[in-house]
Structure 1
């Protein structure tokens, strides 16, 4: 039977190569796109599922509430006491609790010195909860030693080469703290489909020492730096624990000064491990996560591309029905019933789908490295590693065969042999209308994708060029260290001597980072000191912070190094903080008493609102103060003219101050741009697949217009004899197709408008979907369709009528 279908396919290819190749290539492109997106989606959905106990592992997150009950901050981290306390309080429901704290470190061995970002301190039971494979050493004991250190196979090769790392020491520096870690375990590299990746796990003992001992650490509910995971007992539902977490918080955290229970201001939540990557985009994450919305978008694009390819097949198959009518009639006369004919046509379609799959796999093999690099995922077409792909490919062939072949096979098998053999067979208007509907659907999808591309491009341009309220360009960022902050004025004056450096400042956080630090506040309202129940984020800064970033002081003054009280009692608020507190204007806030945390003082100035975080977040209430601690970043404002010389000078000075610490200089403008990488990828994906959708639609339009031109060759000859010009012929043949594209545009506009407005809701600040974008997409689609149709129409219009009638 397959051999029979193959012979028919070869006959059609020989007689009608253009139509056959358009069908196969269109299906191949659609299938290749779907396969790559399927691989990406499958990879996204597989995150953390490789852990044996993944269904029982839950991460603890912590949220804070404003007075109105709205969440003001939600962290994917928790304070250090929560893990052990949850284990002890819920002993019958929680099998294990493990905490991890991620930090940047400098690791040295002999002459090798590297800065490592994927370094974690962890509790000893880490490998009891997670299923990472230990290559050497004991998973149960490796982190139970005070100096215990487990590193990945890759890091073992990086630091020790061919030597045996077990029992070897590495010098580890965290800020000004230095300790020695002894390699007690080697683990396999953590798989790519993990919501965080680690190269090193160290025992928690140095962290305990940093907090001032175990007792001090277990009473610190303000330092929320620990990713905390619970392994529940088999059969325990997380809701059983979550329903008791409010009482748990009130048991361990005392009420505030006004007697308000702690659970009214903060709460804990449990997140299934396998949901973190796609559903958790909190204010702090171990690593940036993806978003389930993007998985839906990719999946929808794959379905649309495949649907467009299948529509092409149906359109071309039914358009060429007259050529196969005689074949159907003869087969029915010879005894073939309708079921046999349906099986025949479905078999032909399935065979063509299989051949298209082979071409699609070749296209995937050629383009997958680029797609993997673009998505940042380790995607592989290795069928031994992913045997499930074979099932998916078989299902894809069957699906495409059913979608593409169902209507043509039912349509062709309905031909009546008497009408066909008499030559009185005609295609019904209902089939012509269905073909028109399919063309409209194709271009509606294509135009909607074009609109999406244009909207994403405009939103990205808006985000990158929006006035943030400060000068982000030419600001270099370096990590601060104890010696620098202790001698800040001296070192700042030294750096300022270079002609390419305009200003220097230090701060706890730099614009483009998240505002995760806050304390309780009180403000003078109507002569009384009143608690403020709105969260106000704090940034510790040097006196020159506002000058370095070019921020505008609306009322009052900036910090002044010559006024001693500015370092102990002065506050600068932004406009949002003034409104949140309840003052009617920035001017009213000046000289008002303001207490923040343990500091008592007055408001000396109000800075104009600026975007500290990305445009995904609204501007938060902020308070700035000049303390003597918690400086993590150095900001250096460079002059554009001497930028390169200034950077070289900074590296020289850094090497002189910290020869053992690798320097990595970043820029504030780049950090802001990095926050929009997901949007850039979405824009690129939309652009690429919109191009494919247009390509496939154009292939179908090309085939249909070619066939329509062939069918009307005699009519064209008669019209030319009667005086019709070539332009008349082109308009005659093209107007029907262009009308269909116009209808597709009318359908695409409301769908695209709704979809892109939904996407733009992810941003606190965004553009509006303008009609200009819609018109541009429609004009582009019409131009592409016009060029495609007119190419065939001109060819037909230029044929000599004499040649046409001679053929007749």
Structure 2
């Protein structure tokens, strides 16, 4: 019986080639988009699950709160004492703990080769007991026990030695003004792409302890630069550990300057390893993470695209009903039962779905390289390793085949044989309600996507064009060196003699970065000194920082190199700091006593608030101090007409200051734009899916227009005989479709509004949702619908009335 159904399906496929092509093409597009996006979703959900003990691994984070319990700072890194003390204090609960710290921008020398490496880390040997990276050489239990041990990946071994059997080979580390040798004590396979951080070099943490002093590190609770991971004992719940953290803080950190227990202002949180990539978006992360919200969004868009393709199939199938109705009537007269006819039509739709799947893989293999580049992922089509892929393909074919074929099957089998054979038409009881609802749904999705594209791009334009409160243009930032810092005055004067260089400044941080540095202090309030009870981020600068970035002042003055006290006793705040401290105005704060980070002095100036960080963050309180050693970035303001000459000059100079390091500069304006890469990716993705959704919806509308034109052939012929013009006939048939699009628009507007409002809440500074994106979305949908139906309507209207009436 199934063989017979299959033969009929293939026969109809050959008979109605145009119809088959449109159906298969529409399904192929929807399937390809769905498969790619669901593979992306699978990849995002798989992060770090390859570790054997992933269900027991947690990453710790540290949060500071103010006296109202509001988060002031939340870092994905801890200070160095936490890991060993946690392991010691919670024995029997924590099986193992380990620290790693990044050393990005490290120059590595080996085998007469030099490369600047971004994936260089120092780690404790315990991390190999926590994580499950696969060793191909060396003993994971001993690899980092010696201060000069280093574990590298196979790719790193190939890059430096052109082979992977490199045990015992020497590699030289150069960074932070230090240089010392390591010996390869282990080689691991390349870190899988679905890891929340990747590394190529893991050097012994004991080298860090020897450089900074182990005892000094154990007393340093302020240097929060160490990612800390714990492995819980089997059967132990993380809540047991969390309940003991307040006592842990009070035991080791005591009380603050105002007598409050440390646990009042400090929190520790423990993130399941498999949650870090999608749920952790803290003020510091090892690498930029994904976002579960975008995973949901991408998955929903993909599924809607497939549903739209299935709706398209339904509409085209029912539009073809007049051509299939006589077949159904004959089969019923010959004794065919309704169940058999339903199975036949479902078989046909599944065949279409299978063919659509085949063509979808052609599309997938063509676009997969661009898809991976777009998402910066390494997604592959691997039928041998990915059992989910088989389930996905089976599910999509079943879903598309049954969903797309179910309604046409029951619709066609409802025809009465006598009516069909007598008139060759359809049952007079057939109504358009279901098909109309499907078209409304298609255009509802299309309009939501079109509006979404407009709003996302408008917000991107808003954040990129917003006045940030300082001059971000034409500023190059380069890493400093000890040599530059030690004789910065001479270097600055030398650079300023180069034509095209207008200003040179030295600082610890530059705009577009995160404000992660802060210390405690005291402020003068009502003639008395009180503890600074708000977080004020600090930036160490030189005397030309404000001039280089053209930061305007609200009160007071800039740092003056002719005043010795400005180097150690003067502070400049921003307006947000003045407000957070509680002074009434910037003018009132001038001359107030201000002690911060061990310095005692007074406020000499207040700059107007400016956006140091991205517009995702609110403007934070900031204090500027003249640097006394903590400055590693050089900002250079240049004349745009002489950029090439300036860059060439700086490249030459940096070859002397940083020999062996590649010349790598960044521009502040580009850095700000790069902060919105996720939003740019979202805009491009929604644009692509909007085009697909509109294309498929238009095909479905074309099918419905064909159906309506078929049913009203006699009416059109009579109207034409009575003198109706083609334009009048077009309006007659088009008004119903226009009504459907308007209904879709009415439904889409509130859905799009609330969805976009929620997305815009991720920005501290956002545009107001205006009316124009909705107007444009509605007009575009109407234009597309009219263009789609015009061809079929005009074709039917231009048919000779004699032929139309004879056909009826």
What TM-score, normalized by structure 1, do the two folds share? 0.98
1:117 is displaced (CA, Å) by 1.2
- Partner Cα distance (1:399, 1:162) in 2: 49
Name the counterpart of 1:108: 109
Question: What do the CA deviations read for 1:113-154 (whole angstroms, capped 9, x no partner)?
Answer: 221111110001121111101111111111011100011111
Map 1:304-315 → 2, pairs under 5 A: 304-315=304-315
Report how many aligned residue pairs link the two structures. 807
1:776 is displaced (CA, Å) by 0.4
1:179 maps onto 2:180 in alignment: yes
1:663 is displaced (CA, Å) by 2.1
1:382 is displaced (CA, Å) by 2.1
Contact 1:717 1:801 in 2 (8 A): yes
Name the counterpart of 2:567: 567
Map 1:40-189 → 2, pairs under 5 A: 40-104=40-104, 105-109=106-110, 111-162=112-163, 164-189=165-190
Name the counterpart of 1:319: 319
- Partner Cα distance (2:801, 2:423) in 1: 25
Name the counterpart of 2:198: 197
Name the counterpart of 2:746: 746
Question: What do the CA deviations read for 1:624-671 (whole angstroms, capped 9, x no partner)?
Answer: 000211102111111111111011111111112332332211111111
- Partner Cα distance (2:438, 2:111) in 1: 69
Q: Give the SS at the match of 2:603.
A: strand
- Residues 362 and 743 (structure 1), Cα distance of their counterparts in 2 relative to 1, 3 Å cut: same
Contact 2:415 2:426 in 1 (8 A): no
Question: What do the CA deviations read for 1:691-747 (whole angstroms, capped 9, x no partner)?
Answer: 000000011111221232233333222222211112112112211112111111111
- Partner Cα distance (2:576, 2:463) in 1: 21
Contact 2:440 2:740 in 1 (8 A): yes
- Partner Cα distance (1:668, 1:313) in 2: 51
Name the counterpart of 1:261: 261
1:106 is displaced (CA, Å) by 1.2
Contact 1:65 1:72 in 2 (8 A): yes
1:23 maps onto 2:45 in alignment: no
Name the counterpart of 1:529: 529
- Residues 430 and 582 (structure 1), Cα distance of their counterparts in 2 relative to 1, 3 Å cut: farther
Contact 1:537 1:620 in 2 (8 A): yes
Name the counterpart of 1:615: 615
Map 1:255-334 → 2, pairs under 5 A: 255-334=255-334
1:354 is displaced (CA, Å) by 1.1
Q: Give the SS at the match of 1:641.
A: helix
Name the counterpart of 2:713: 713
1:93 is displaced (CA, Å) by 1.1
Question: What do the CA deviations read for 1:284-318 (whole angstroms, capped 9, x no partner)?
Answer: 00000010000000011011101111111222223
Map 1:260-409 → 2, pairs under 5 A: 260-409=260-409
Contact 1:591 1:604 in 2 (8 A): yes
- Partner Cα distance (2:611, 2:225) in 1: 24
- Partner Cα distance (1:561, 1:790) in 2: 75
Name the counterpart of 2:597: 597
Query: Mean alpha-carbon deviation: is it higher for 322-331 or for 82-91?
Result: 322-331
Map 1:395-434 → 2, pairs under 5 A: 395-423=395-423, 426-427=426-427, 431-434=431-434
- Partner Cα distance (1:634, 1:615) in 2: 24
Query: Mean alpha-carbon deviation: is it higher for 614-623 or for 624-633?
Result: 624-633
Query: Mean alpha-carbon deviation: is it higher for 422-431 or for 775-784?
Result: 422-431
Name the counterpart of 2:459: 459
Query: Mean alpha-carbon deviation: is it higher for 316-325 or for 250-259?
Result: 316-325
Question: What do the CA deviations read for 1:575-621 (whole angstroms, capped 9, x no partner)?
Answer: 00000000111000100001112011000000010000001100000
- Partner Cα distance (1:36, 1:469) in 2: 42
Contact 1:113 1:662 in 2 (8 A): no
Gaps (5+ residues) in structure 1?
Answer: none
Contact 2:616 2:763 in 1 (8 A): yes
1:412 is displaced (CA, Å) by 2.7
1:508 maps onto 2:544 in alignment: no
Contact 2:49 2:274 in 1 (8 A): yes
- Partner Cα distance (1:267, 1:448) in 2: 41
Q: Give the SS at the match of 2:696.
A: helix
1:418 is displaced (CA, Å) by 4.3
Contact 1:115 1:662 in 2 (8 A): yes
Contact 2:481 2:657 in 1 (8 A): no
Q: Give the SS at the match of 1:610.
A: coil
Question: What do the CA deviations read for 1:36-69 (whole angstroms, capped 9, x no partner)?
Answer: 0011000000000000000010000000001110
- Partner Cα distance (1:615, 1:362) in 2: 41
1:446 maps onto 2:446 in alignment: yes
1:803 is displaced (CA, Å) by 4.5
- Partner Cα distance (1:315, 1:768) in 2: 39
Q: Give the SS at the match of 2:595.
A: strand
Name the counterpart of 1:780: 780
- Partner Cα distance (1:246, 1:333) in 2: 82
Contact 2:48 2:274 in 1 (8 A): yes
- Partner Cα distance (1:643, 1:425) in 2: 75
Name the counterpart of 1:728: 728
Name the counterpart of 1:38: 38
Q: Give the SS at the match of 1:718.
A: helix
Question: What do the CA deviations read for 1:753-799 (whole angstroms, capped 9, x no partner)?
Answer: 11011111111011122111100011111111111111222223333
What TM-score, normalized by structure 2, do the two folds share? 0.98
1:169 is displaced (CA, Å) by 0.9
Name the counterpart of 2:698: 698
Query: Mean alpha-carbon deviation: is it higher for 59-68 or for 381-390?
Result: 381-390
Question: What do the CA deviations read for 1:382-403 (whole angstroms, capped 9, x no partner)?
Answer: 2123233112101111111221
Name the counterpart of 1:210: 211
1:555 is displaced (CA, Å) by 0.7
Contact 1:22 1:700 in 2 (8 A): no
- Residues 74 and 580 (structure 1), Cα distance of their counterparts in 2 relative to 1, 3 Å cut: same
- Partner Cα distance (2:619, 2:276) in 1: 26
- Partner Cα distance (1:578, 1:128) in 2: 49
Q: Give the SS at the match of 2:624.
A: strand
1:164 is displaced (CA, Å) by 4.0
Contact 1:453 1:686 in 2 (8 A): yes
Question: What do the CA deviations read for 1:233-281 (whole angstroms, capped 9, x no partner)?
Answer: 1111111111111111111112112210001111101000000000000
Q: Give the SS at the match of 2:640.
A: coil
Contact 2:6 2:347 in 1 (8 A): no
Contact 1:5 1:351 in 2 (8 A): no
Map 1:550-699 → 2, pairs under 5 A: 550-699=550-699
1:220 maps onto 2:220 in alignment: yes
Gaps (5+ residues) in structure 2?
Answer: none
Question: What do the CA deviations read for 1:444-476 (whole angstroms, capped 9, x no partner)?
Answer: 000000011111111111111111111111110
- Residues 807 and 340 (structure 1), Cα distance of their counterparts in 2 relative to 1, 3 Å cut: closer
- Partner Cα distance (1:301, 1:443) in 2: 14
Q: Give the SS at the match of 1:385.
A: coil
Query: Mean alpha-carbon deviation: is it higher for 155-164 or for 732-741?
Result: 155-164
